[in-house]
Amino acid sequence: MLSERGFIDHVRRRAAAGSPELLRSIGDDCAVFAPPAGRHLLVTTDTLVERVHFDLGWHPPELLGRKAAAVNLSDIAAMGGGPLYALLSLAAPAGTDEGWLDRVMTGFLTVLAEHDTILIGGDTVRGEQVVISVTLIGDAAPDRILYRSGARKGDLVWVSGQLGEAAAGLELCRRGDESRWPELVRAHLDPRPRMALGRFLAETGTVHAMMDLSDGLATDLAHLCRESGLGAEVEAASLPLSPALQEAAAHLGRAPGELALTGGEDYELLFATGPEATETLPLQVQEATGLEIHRVGRLTAGSGVWLLDGITRREIGDRGYDHFAR
C-alpha cells in the first residue's frame, strides 16, 4: 500500500489547478481562499461508509469515487447554489490496493472536474473499513438560496426525474441480479447530481422551497413540511415510475409505489412552487436542462405527509431510510 505521504503527494499532483481566489490548496495546514464578493457560502458534508452505504463486492471504485462527489454536489444543487471547493477525508484499511484507491480518486476527481470544483484538502487515515467523507463548499446569490422552510400553504409539490430507481438498483445488486435493468443499477452506483436544474429553479423565482431526495420522498417531504410548518398530500397516481422500475419491482416482489416513496438515494430534487407554475414549468425545465419534472402533490395546512390513493388517505411521513433504525 501507498504511504500516507505518498498518497497525499499523488492526490496533490492530480488535483485541478487553482484559481486566483484560491491562495493556498493541498500542502499547508489549511486551504485559504477569498470568498466570492457579494455571495453567500454554502457548506455541506456527507460520508459513505463501507458495508453501510456501499459494498465493495459490487461497487466499482471509479463509481464509488463519483458517488462520493455526487451526493455532496446534490446538497449544493438542493439549495440552488453552485460548487466551488471540495475536501476529501479518506479512511482505508492497511493493505488497501493502491490501484484501487487511485481508481476511486479518478472517479472522484472526474465528477469534481465536470462541475468545475477544486479539491483543496482533506485527511488520509487508516481505518478498519473504507470511509469516504467529503465536504463541499459552494456559493449562491443571497436572495436566490432555496431553503426547506420556504414552502407556503397551497404550493404544488414537484420532483425531478423518476423515483425509486436507486432503491431498486440496490436490491438488484444485493441479489446479484445486475444485468437486466442497467439504468436502475446505475442510479444506485452512479447518481447524477441535478446541478443545472437546482440553479435553474432558483433563478425562476417561482420556487419557494427545495431539498434533494436522499432518504425517500415520504421522509424527505416530511422534513420539508416540518421546516415549513405545513402538511402535504401526495397523489399515488402521480408518482413518476419508469417502466424499468415497474418491471424490476414485479421481479423483486415489491410494490413500485413503495420503492418510490421509501427508497433512498434518488438524489433528485424535491421542490415547492406557487400554484401558478403548473402549465409552463415542466416545458421550461425541459428546454433549459433536458430533465423531466413531475407534480406529485401539494402542501396543506396541518402536518404530516398523506398519500391519496383512490378513495383512501393514509399517513406515510418518515417511512424512508433511517440510519439509526434497526
Q: Which residues bind ligand ADP (CB under 6 A)?
A: 8, 11, 26-29, 88, 90, 119, 121-124
Q: How far is the C-alpha of 10 from the C-alpha of 222, rounded, in Å? A: 43
Q: How far is the C-alpha of 50 from the C-alpha of 59, rounded, in Å? A: 10
Q: Which is nearer to ligand ADP, 32 or 283 (CB)?
A: 32
State the nearest-atom distance from the C-beta of 11 to ligand ADP, in Å: 5
Q: Which is nearer to ligand ADP, 27 or 182 (CB)?
A: 27
State the nearest-atom distance from the C-beta of 4 to Mg ion, in Å: 9
User: Given the rule CB under 5 A, which residues bind Mg ion?
Assistant: 123
Q: Which is nearer to ligand ADP, 8 or 288 (CB)?
A: 8
State the nearest-atom distance from the C-beta of 309 to ligand ADP, in Å: 47
State the nearest-atom distance from the C-beta of 32 to Mg ion, in Å: 17
Q: Judge contact between 178 and 120, C-beta under 8 A.
A: no
Residue 28, binding choice from Mg ion, ligand ADP, none, Cβ under 5 to 8 Å by partner class: ligand ADP
Q: How far is the C-alpha of 173 from the C-alpha of 167, rounded, in Å? A: 10
Residue 119, binding choice from ligand ADP, Mg ion, none, Cβ under 5 to 8 Å by partner class: ligand ADP
State the nearest-atom distance from the C-beta of 132 to ligand ADP, in Å: 9
**Nearest alpha carbon to residue 148 among 157, 135, 139:** 157
Which residue has the closest beta carbon to Mg ion? 123
> Length of the chain, please?
326
Grid cell digits, residue 305 = 405527509
Q: Who's near 277: CB < 8 A, 6+ residues apart?
A: 156, 206
Residue 169, binding choice from ligand ADP, Mg ion, none, Cβ under 5 to 8 Å by partner class: none
State the nearest-atom distance from the C-beta of 17 to ligand ADP, in Å: 15
Q: Judge contact between 180 and 158, C-beta under 8 A.
A: no
State the nearest-atom distance from the C-beta of 91 to Mg ion, in Å: 12
Cα–Cα distances in Å, from 56 out to 48, 100, 147?
Answer: 12, 11, 35
Q: Which is nearer to Mg ion, 28 or 98 (CB)?
A: 28
Q: Which is nearer to ligand ADP, 10 or 39 (CB)?
A: 10
Residue 121, binding choice from ligand ADP, Mg ion, none, Cβ under 5 to 8 Å by partner class: ligand ADP
The vertex-194 CA angle with 190 and 196, nearest 5°, equals 135
State the nearest-atom distance from the C-beta of 89 to Mg ion, in Å: 9
* Gyration radius of the chain over CA positions: 20
Q: Which is nearer to ligand ADP, 15 or 146 (CB)?
A: 15
Q: Which is nearer to ligand ADP, 15 or 63 (CB)?
A: 15
Which residue has the closest beta carbon to ligand ADP? 121
Residue 29, binding choice from ligand ADP, Mg ion, none, Cβ under 5 to 8 Å by partner class: ligand ADP
Q: Judge contact between 185 and 293, C-beta under 8 A.
A: no
Q: Which is nearer to ligand ADP, 85 or 271 (CB)?
A: 85
Burial of residue 241 (CB within 10 Å: 0-12, 13-18, 19+) is: middle
Q: How far is the C-alpha of 73 from the C-alpha of 195, rounded, in Å? A: 7
Question: Which ranges constitute the DSSP H helices of the chain?
Answer: 4-14, 61-78, 98-114, 165-174, 182-189, 195-204, 217-228, 243-252, 256-262, 281-289
